[in-house]
Amino acid sequence: MTTMAPLLQTVPILVAAFGGGGTMLAAAPSPQEAPASRPPVFALSGDHRTRYERLSNQFRAGLDGVARALMLRTRVSAGLDAGHFRLRAELQDSRSYLADSVAAVTTSMVNPLELLQAHIEIPLGDRSGRGSRSVLRAGRITMDIGSRRLISRNRFRNTSDGFTGIEWHWTGPNDGQVRTFYTLPVERRVSGNILDNGPRLDKEWGNVRLWGVHFSRPRLPWGDPGEVYYYGLDEADAPGLSTADRHLHTIGVRFHRPATIAGFDYEIESALQFGRSRASRAAAADLTHVAHLQHIGAGYTFAAPGTPRLQLQFDHASGDRDPTDGRNNRFSSLYGSRSFEHGPSGIHGAFARANVTTPGIRLTLAPRSDLNVMGAARGYWLASAADEWTTTGIGNTGGASVRHVGTLWEFIGGWELDAARLRLEAGLVRLTAGDLMKNAGKGNATYTFAQTMLSF
């Protein structure tokens, strides 16, 4: 029975190792000093997104033909700031229309009428008298942490991961930040056939637990931000719940330099994962789990019209080296996002951070303040030929050891209409087949999407 002991033991180690500082955490709550008494303030906001997606030549095992879907997502958030505490609730309604079985729709796309967040937030102020501040959140929450590769609030995806539990976010006098949390991940559920968009209450399971600690500092000795983290995941089967019985510990570090005009930037992240797991939800044998994730990126932003930024990227997420050796080497990306690096999710979702080796190049442009475009190309190989292309179920057969999956070409553009609080976005993604796809009888695939996002 896993407890919070690993988390509590790790906090002082991280603080001692880094000694203060901080870095930007995307979409993280902003801790504030405990305010004086004042009248409560109520706020209401939201957004609605409509996206049409089309995928020619479905590449997943057992599926063929053209897939399409109309994805709708509406979010409404209400908050009450009473000074010494804040209440927040967020409703999310995620639906899919026009889809059939070829689209391979899952609860990552459909989650009708669900309470994504419902929590209390308590600013704790400067309890130490040294200029620090912190905030405690308790209830159902979403989280964006660090690079978002392992824990995130999803953006492109039609649904978001929610967690029920507690989170403490501390900011020191020198802007060093510590985030600790202990949560039960929320299982998204639908009633009946998923294509019918039937609402059903989501559920937390007491035997699926995610906890961790993340420490960041804005300036390391060489002047750039850095992070170190530990995440624990415990899960076990229960009546009505099938899991891969993962009992994982993930430790990692991240160093990066933000992009600046006429300047170089970089990002390095390395994570080691160990514990035990099973090969799949259907498997019964416990395996020793040892896996890792590596990311290296370097870029330069030119002092030119459109401020073009050119990036070189390399990612490696380990795969299982031998299905018969009693070990599982496939990396688990926990609750991270992938669309910002490995192509759109939705009915596309070709690649995840598991059993892949992928170099790439990316160019972003902003011809105007309200217009941005991006083009990228990445080659994908299996990290281990003995493991499969994890998002599709396709692997080597007949003794083959082919690794090259294919090449992903990505082109996306967005236009902000600030006066109308509207964003328009469209994209074209082409997956050219490598030897692994060809051996499985799969050819080139083209994914297109067009979406509107209205904020209110």
Token pair recorded at residue 454: 């209205």
What sign for the dihedral angle of Cα 206, 93, 51, 101?
A: positive
Mean pLDDT value across residues 79-100: 97
Q: Write down the architecture of domain 5-455 according to CATH.
A: Beta Barrel (2.40)
- The answer, yes or no, to whether residue 455 has pLDDT greater than 50, is yes
Mean pLDDT value across residues 298-325: 98
pTM of the model: 0.89
For 450, the 3-state DSSP assignment is strand
Q: List the one residue out of 189, 202, 204, 225 whose CA is nearest residue 20.
A: 225
pLDDT band at 391 (very low <50, low <70, confident <90, very high): very high
pLDDT tens digits, 322-347: 999 999 999 999 999 999 999 999 99
Instruction: State how far the Cα of 178 lies from the Cα of 387, in Å rounded to an integer.
Output: 37
Domains of the chain, residue spans:
5-455
What sign for the dihedral angle of Cα 232, 202, 42, 452?
A: positive
Q: Are strands 133-141 and 163-171 parallel, antiparallel or unpaired?
A: antiparallel
Mean pLDDT value across residues 434-446: 98
- The answer, yes or no, to whether residue 18 has pLDDT greater than 50, is no
- The answer, yes or no, to whether residue 15 has pLDDT greater than 50, is no
Residue 21's pLDDT is: 36
Average pLDDT, the chain: 92
More confident residue, 79 or 126: 79
For 290, the 3-state DSSP assignment is strand
pLDDT tens digits, 119-143: 999 999 777 677 899 999 999 999 9
Q: List the one residue out of 291, 305, 105 whose CA is nearest residue 197.
A: 105
What percentage of the chain has pLDDT greater than the value 90?
87
Residue 130's pLDDT is: 79
- The answer, yes or no, to whether residue 24 has pLDDT greater than 60, is no
Residue 25's pLDDT is: 32
Strand-pairing partners, residue 252, are 229, 271
pLDDT tens digits, 228-273: 999 999 999 999 999 999 999 999 999 999 999 999 999 999 999 9
